Structure 1
Amino acid sequence: MESLAPVVLFLFVLFLLLGTGVWVGLALIGVAFVGVELFTSRPAGDAMITVIWASSSSWTLTALPLFIWMGEILYRTRLSEDMFRGLSPFMARLPGGLVHTNIVGCTVFAAVSGSSAATLTTVGKMSIPELRRRNYPEHMVIGTLAGAATLGLMIPPSLILIVYGVTINESITKLFMAGVLPGLVLAAMFMGYVAIYAKLSKTYKPDPEPPMSFVEKIRNARFLIPVMMLILAVIGSMYAGFATATEAAAIGVIGALVLAAWQGSLTWSTFLDSLMGATRTSAMIALILAGAAFLTLSMGFTGLPRAIAEYIASMELSRFELLMALLVFYIVIGCFLDGISAVVLTMAVVEPMVRAAGIDMIWFGIFVVIVVEMAQITPPIGFNLFVLQGITRHEMGYISKAALPMFAIMVAMVFVLIAVPELATWLPDNMRNRP
Structure 2
Amino acid sequence: MGRFVFKLPDLGEGTAEAEIVAWHVKVGDVVAEDAPLVDMLTDKATVEMTSPVAGKLIELNGAPGDMAPVGGPIAVFEVEGAGNAATGRAPPAPAKAIAEKAASPPPAAKPVAEETQAPPPPTAAPRAPIAVAARVIPDRAENEKPLASPAVRRRAEDLGIKLGHVAGAGPAGRITHEDLDLFIAGARSGAAAPTTLARRTAVEEVKVIGMRRAIARQMQESKRRIPHFAYVEEVDMTELEDLRVHLNATKRADQPKLTMLPFLMRALVRVLPAYPQINARFDDEAGVVSRHAGVHIGIATQTANGLVVPVVKHAETLDVWAAAAEVARVAEIARAGKGSKDDLSGSTITITSLGPLGGIATTPVINHPEVAIIGPNKIVDRPVVRHGQIAVRKMMNLSSSFDHRVVDGYDAAEFIQRVKAMLEHPATLFMD
Bigger proportion of residues as strand: 2
Report which structure shows greater RCO (CA 8 Å, sep ≥6): 1
Bigger proportion of residues as helix: 1
- What is the TM-score with the length of structure 2 in the denominator? 0.24
- What is the TM-score with the length of structure 1 in the denominator? 0.24
| Bigger Rg, which one | 2
